[in-house]
Amino acid sequence: MQQVKQGDTVKIHYHGRLINGETFDSSENREPLEFEVGSGTVIPGFDKGVMGMNVGDKKTVNIPVDEAYGPKNEEMIIDYPKDRFPDDMVAEVGMPLTMSDGSGQNFRVIIKEVKETSVVLDANHPLAGEELTFDLELVEIVGSKPLIITP
């Protein structure tokens, strides 16, 4: 039976949970996730988790912070002046916003705190700093890159 290896394109059903058991994502009622193993499309721990699986295999993998979305970066938490928000906008804790870095690059932030003259914005990935657990089921190995032997 063929086992998943680096470079294979696979289809996986998954259920992602935080350590407290809260579901943050799942492929339930959707098509399985298709990706090339080792291409950087998914977090490193997910890539490692599917390695060696056979079609039909199911397993649970625990992914440490460093193999998931990394630790929270304090430099990604910004104290932003309130007077730079639109006049008609009411800033609320938990509100997601899209900001631009000035060079046309957009990124998502979450309002963490509303102060008198500023708003604290967090530009970290929402799952940064979290250890993750995934239940995986390998549905299909779609294809693999041929091995190239060089002299």
The pLDDT of residue 143 is above 80: no
pTM of the model: 0.80
Distance CA 44, CA 127 (A): 14
Can you read off the two tokens belonging to residue 130? 């979290």
The pLDDT of residue 147 is above 60: no
Can you read off the two tokens belonging to residue 46? 């997910």
The pLDDT of residue 148 is above 70: no
Can you read off the two tokens belonging to residue 93? 């804790």
Mean predicted confidence (pLDDT) in 122-129: 94
- How do residues 62-109 score in pLDDT, each as one tens digit? 999 999 999 999 999 999 999 998 889 889 999 999 988 778 888 899
**Which of left, alpha, beta for 129 (phi over 0: left; psi -120 to 50: alpha)?**
left
- How do residues 29-57 score in pLDDT, each as one tens digit? 999 999 999 999 999 999 999 999 999 99
Can you read off the two tokens belonging to residue 31? 């098509």
Q: What's the pLDDT score for residue 60?
A: 98
Q: What's the pLDDT score for residue 113?
A: 96
Q: What's the pLDDT score for residue 100?
A: 84
Question: Hunting for tokens 């289809």 — which residue is that?
Answer: 11
What structural domains does the chain harbor?
9-70+127-143 (3.10.50.40), 74-122 (2.40.10.330)
